[in-house]
Chain A
């Protein structure tokens, strides 16, 4: 956690410095004769300063705990990638972002949703060395869940809630 805190602390310092500089550059609206303490940059600058303080404390604390020694090795990264949990996480993120960020809007909504659910179920329930009967059943199940869910969600949002689907 000390290493993660070190990185977060540095990220917070950079973020807060950026916020303070941006706030400083915000207009003072002198031509409107507004009160100098009501200008738009006051509160973001205040938040930036508090975050700068917290980021500095977090960084110093993590350095004291040895967090600055990141020890990034190829072996460590490989182990991170080979962890089954992390692989599931990566696959979930790729599929979800691929669906929500790219499929939606480029394919008809029902088709995109059905495709996403079908691929998701199939990939996560696929086991190496499955018998062909089990594989067939897996494909059928995934297709059934995908069709029913996609149809139900499309129908509910389009007809019941009158949402014009993407």
Chain B
């Protein structure tokens, strides 16, 4: 009980800390910018956070993270506008929104659809925020028990699960992307004996590839190339009905909202999976449980609510492992994590020991960002349409200029501009061949963690692999990891089914075989 009161006091103190004019000013512009980035097809939340990170170097750490969280929450919400108005998801997180959002707009209910998206996004964020405030401290304390063995499996688990869930049709591509990310992380001086791996005498590579230029390339330059290759988007028209969210919609679909919020938060906690999967899984669950299943895909308010609640609930969910384990729950959270390190913060298992107040500051940041999207969601319509009307031929060169200068600005090295270009081209090619980007990013982040902990673990046990497979948390992690791999390979899945059938029939004896 005392702990609960302490935590509540920390949260309230964090809320108080952000009610200064300066913080409110940063909240206002960054959330608006986030919504615009999300609404513009081709500009994703990850790209937005990566670019804006380069603008926060001179801000204090708490204001910088506040700005980035506002951009994150704003972008995931902003993408719903384009999904509803022109049937193009502003960010991948809003793909499920198009299924019912656009049909509603075609029926002349674009305003109502936007209102539903606003209420879903706001409530989804609040549900996720509640779990961020309650789970993060518990997970942080629990993670203190983790040793090298657990951290090694956590890295592999993250790569495999993220690879699987972001490439459901062809998981091997997700795993390849993840392991390529791990390989990229091997470049540079390693952390145990300071040996320079894959540097070829280049001093710029001693510290490995900097994460922000790599992300700006993979998500920024690659997007610029894709947007310019695709045909131009249609022009959005102003909605004719009210965009104010309706309480009746919330009350009617409260079960869907809670379910989607829980699903979104859970998907967010799983490393490197992200908002798009959160929205799809919430949408599928809502459809399965719905009494008006036939309306899904034709303009269902419930479907739209599920998708928008699900994707925004992922945001705080994805911050939970980023804060407590230094393992991001999604690609935008990966950039957020990198930004935290740049600003001298130390997310990871020690966070609840070293700076518990920061966890509640993050909760307060999500709270304010959510309030801001509610205010903009109700008041913002015309400005967004004007932004959507900017031709890509004018927007993209400016975005690319920001990609270049943003990559350069971290350490004032032109080498990082080449890193951005290289990762942009690789990112574009991989995306065209249906390789997901999230596991790649996760791999780059987790590479160092896996490297140090595998070798440290092996040294501790003098080469004995037993603890890697017998410690309780390790057992859970490797069981899920291997099951995920086995169940997605057809011949292995059939073999497993046959073996299980055989074991089952043997255990039931001859009577079962006769009657089965």
Interface of A with B (CB < 8 Å)?
1, 4-5, 8, 12, 19, 22, 26-27, 29, 32, 34-40, 42-44, 46-48, 50-51, 54-55, 57-58, 85-86, 88-89, 91-93, 95-97, 99-101, 104-105, 109, 113, 116-117, 120-121, 124-125, 145, 149-150, 153, 156-157, 160-166
Contact = CB atoms under 8 A, between A and B. Distances in A.
Nearest to A12: B176
25 contacts: A8-B433, A22-B198, A29-B193, A35-B463, A40-B190, A43-B186, A43-B450, A47-B182, A51-B176, A51-B179, A54-B172, A58-B172, A89-B225, A92-B224, A96-B421, A100-B403, A101-B418, A101-B421, A116-B400, A117-B398, A124-B228, A157-B409, A160-B58, A161-B55, A166-B414
A113 B180 CA distance: 33
A24 B420 CA distance: 30
Nearest to B407: A100
A163 B58 CA distance: 10
A137 to B, nearest CB: 14
A162 to B, nearest CB: 7
Contacts of B450: 43
B469 to A, nearest CB: 16
Contact of A100 (B186, B228, B421, B455): B421
Contacts of B283: none
Interface of A: prevailing SS: helix
Nearest to B189: A40
The secondary-structure label for the interface of chain B is helix
Interface of B: 55, 57-58, 172, 175-176, 179-180, 182-183, 186, 190, 192-193, 195, 197-198, 221, 224-225, 228-231, 391, 393-394, 396-398, 400-405, 408-409, 412, 414, 417-418, 420-421, 425, 433-434, 450-451, 454-456, 458-459, 462-463
A85 B58 CA distance: 40
Given A51-B179, A121-B393, A149-B401, 16 more contacts: A4-B433, A42-B455, A42-B458, A44-B183, A46-B454, A54-B172, A57-B172, A58-B176, A92-B229, A96-B221, A96-B400, A99-B400, A101-B417, A116-B401, A125-B393, A163-B412
A164 B451 CA distance: 35
Contacts of B463: 35-37
A93 B186 CA distance: 28
Contacts of A37: 455, 458-459, 463
B221 A51 contact: no
A44 to B, nearest CB: 5
Given A43-B454, A51-B179, A104-B414, A99 B409 contact: no
Closest 3 A/B residue pairs (Cβ)? A120-B397, A37-B458, A124-B393
Nearest to B187: A44
B394 A43 contact: no
B433 A5 contact: yes
Could you say which of A12, A32, A40 has the most chain B C-beta atoms within 10 Å of its C-beta?
A: A40
A67 to B, nearest CB: 12
